[in-house]
Amino acid sequence: MKLFGLKNCDTCRKAMKQLPKIDFVDVRNDGVPVEVLQRALGQFGDSLLNIRSTTWRTLTAEERAQPQIELLQTHPTLMKRPLIERDGKLYLSWSKETQSALGVS
């Protein structure tokens, strides 16, 4: 199981505490593999982008108009977190639904 997030993100830290044997990938330092980004965009669409983030607010209108995959590769902190991959399935956020699907109470 992999968790894509930021080491200083409170929500990511909560998830890591509750998930045993998690491989943590810091998106700021390591990025997200293109294949995972493509699958996540296909599954979650626009909801994968965090348009309430500080990073989003600093982008110009021209930058915001770029294809989402390019935006997320250039600015990985724009991705909503955490993005969790387990057995080929992707989960976005640390919601009750995600916790239930991963067997965390």
Domain containing 32 equals 2-101
SS3 string of 70-87?
Answer: HHHHHCHHHECCCEEEEC
Q: What is the CATH number of the domain that holds 44?
A: 3.40.30.10
* Each residue's pLDDT tens digit, 65-95: 999 999 999 999 999 999 999 999 999 999 9
Catalytic residue (choose from 6, 9, 12, 84):
9
Query: Which residues, in sequence order, are bridge partners of residue 92?
Result: 83
* CA distances to 46, 71, 73, 97 from 37, in Å: 12, 11, 9, 21
Can you read off the two tokens belonging to residue 49? 């982008």
* Each residue's pLDDT tens digit, 18-42: 998 899 999 999 999 999 999 999 9
Q: How many other C-beta atoms can be found within 10 angstroms of the C-beta atom of residue 5? A: 26
Q: Which of 74, 90, 101 is nearest to 41 (CA)?
A: 90
Can you read off the two tokens belonging to residue 20? 């045993």
Q: What is the pTM of this model?
A: 0.92
Task: Classify 33 as helix, strand or coil.
Answer: coil
Total count of domains within the chain: 1
* 12 among known catalytic residues: no
